[in-house]
Amino acid sequence: MSDIDTASRRLADIRARIDHAAALADRDPAAIELIAISKTKPAEAIAPLIAAGQIGFGENRVQEAETKWPALREGPSLRLHLVGQLQSNKAKEAVALFDAIHSVDRPSLIEALAKAMDGAGRRPDCFIQVNIGAEEQKGGCAIDELPAILARARDAGLPVAGLMAVPPADVEPAPYFALLAKLAKRHGLAGLSMGMSGDFETAVMLGATHVRVGTALFGPR
């Protein structure tokens, strides 16, 4: 089986599972964006998924994305998402390269992104990352800090599309997804970036608009 055939098979399987989960929740699957997490993967591993029709891809680091994506984006119309932590001193590069930034979580980054967007005349979608499990090692603002962070982002002119979170590992994710959905609704936000290879179907049933799938599309890292 060729690389493109393998990529097509994996992509069709994930999309079918998204469709099924959406149907169970009486949702339109077209409202759910699949983001293929291509971090650490070389261009030759990404190209077959592009050929198979995948549009959205996610990277963790600005520097890595800068080396891979200019050539990959020459042909098809793709959407590139930054899903990893972003340092404020990389805001200018991130705004130039990415179509969406999923890890906005502190005032200094908000100010850096607003300045970079004004300078570039380009405004990627922004997701406020919430540390939904209150884990010290994870990025994201605390739940009780969300109203202030969100207000600051809106005042700075960031196009806030929704909320993002990564639940604690090895526990049932559904309560965390439900909590993020509740927070988004409370603050009038439509976007929910949540769910990965092991739990994206649960996320879809609880309202995810963007699911971030890596291993199930690319194989083990």
DSSP state of 167: P
| Predicted pLDDT at 1 | 66
CA dihedral 203, 204, 209, 210 (to 10 degrees): 60
Instruction: Give the mean pLDDT of 92-118.
Output: 97
Residue 76, pLDDT above cutoff 80 = no
Residues 6+ apart with CB under 8 A from 75: 50
| H/E run at residue 137 | none
Strands 210-213 and 160-164: unpaired
DSSP state of 23: H
Summarize pLDDT for 146-185 with one digit per residue, the tens: 999 999 999 999 999 999 999 999 899 999 999 999 999 9
| Predicted pLDDT at 3 | 85
Residue 217, pLDDT above cutoff 90 = yes
| Predicted pLDDT at 176 | 97
| Predicted pLDDT at 22 | 98
166 phi-psi bin (left φ>0, alpha ψ -120 to 50, beta other): beta
Neighbouring-strand partners of residue 191: 162
The band of 38, judged by pLDDT with boundaries at 50, 70 and 90, is very high
What's the Cα-to-Cα distance from 216 to each of 47, 53, 76, 110, 198, rounded to whole Å? 16, 16, 23, 32, 8
Instruction: Give the mean pLDDT of 55-79.
Output: 91
User: What is the distance between the alpha carbons of residues 198 and 206, in angstroms, rounded to a whole number?
Assistant: 15
User: What is the distance between the alpha carbons of residues 192 and 162, in angstroms, rounded to a whole number?
Assistant: 6
The band of 219, judged by pLDDT with boundaries at 50, 70 and 90, is confident
Summarize pLDDT for 125-157 with one digit per residue, the tens: 999 999 999 988 889 999 999 999 999 999 999
Mean pLDDT of the residues in the chain = 95
